[in-house]
Amino acid sequence: MTPVSHALLPVFFGRRWIPKTGKTPSPRFVSLVALCGALPDILSPHLYLDSRYTALSHTLWAFLLFVPFIGALAWLFPRIFILPISLLCIAAYGGHIACDAITGGVSLFYPYSHTVQGKNYLPYWLWITSDGLLVLYIYLVYRWLPLRRRFRERRTAAPLAIED
Ligand SMILES: [Zn+2]
């Protein structure tokens, strides 16, 4: 799975818990959840599966460190890391590892074990399709729906022009 889907999938599934600015999910919280979703790939960028199998960011240990890290951030920045966002960040990081497990596998216990958990269950064309659909979703939520809403408000607020 590509970093695009890793970033946007938790936003898509967690949208109901993301606080809203007006009627749109708040961009700063969306960015934070997306960042946590892509974080394992940001911490250890890779192009090939072999590199993923030796990436410490894709291990159980990294996930177990990430949970108290988010807890510390929630303690330091309680207005940003509110409970739903903290939980979404943790789910996004864990979800990344789970998604990688079904799209090529991960070595959860590396460096203590080189055994790979999972394998590629999804064809590559589905990865790209997933990217496209999720980018379309973000476009609809952040551009198309607000524009549509604004257009409707303007239409109902404007007085009717009466000719003759
Ligand atoms: Zn990954």
Strand partners, 134: none
Is residue 107 a part of any domain in this protein?
Answer: yes
Cα-to-centroid distance, 117 and ligand 1 (Å): 13
Q: What is the pLDDT of residues 85-124, one digit of tens each?
A: 999 999 999 999 999 999 999 999 999 999 999 999 998 8
pLDDT in tens, 50-71: 899 999 999 999 999 999 999 9
pLDDT at residue 117, rounded to an integer: 95
Domain assignment present for residue 145? The answer is no
Per-residue pLDDT for 160 more than 70? no
User: Is residue 155 one of the residues assigned to a domain?
Assistant: no
28 located within any domain: yes
**Cα–Cα distances in angstroms (integers) from residue 143 to residues 5, 41, 62, 74, 136, in the given order:** 19, 27, 35, 30, 10
Number of structural domains (the chain) is: 1
Q: Give the Cα separation of 97 and 107 in Å (integer).
A: 10
Assigned domain for 156 exists: no
Q: Closest by alpha carbon to 2, among 45, 33, 32?
A: 45
Q: Measured between alpha carbons, how far apart are the two ends of the chain, in Å?
A: 62
CA 83–ligand 1 middle distance (angstroms): 25
- Rg of the chain (C-alpha set): 20
Return the axis-axis angle of helices 60-76 and 27-43, rounded to nearest 10°.
150
Between the CA of 13 and the centroid of ligand 1 the distance, in Å, is: 18
d(CA 101, CA 57): 13
> How far, in Å, from the CA of 100 to the mean position of ligand 1?
6
* Residue owning tokens 């961009």: 27
- State which residues form the domain around 72: 3-139
CA distance linking residue 74 with residue 92, whole number of Å = 16
Give the percent of the chain with pLDDT over 70: 96
pLDDT the model gives residue 155: 86
Q: Is residue 100 assigned to a domain?
A: yes
**Residue 124 covered by a domain:** yes
* Dist. CA 19–CA 21, nearest whole Å: 7
Of 86, 66, 64, nearest to 74 (Cα)? 86
Residue 15 lies in a domain: yes
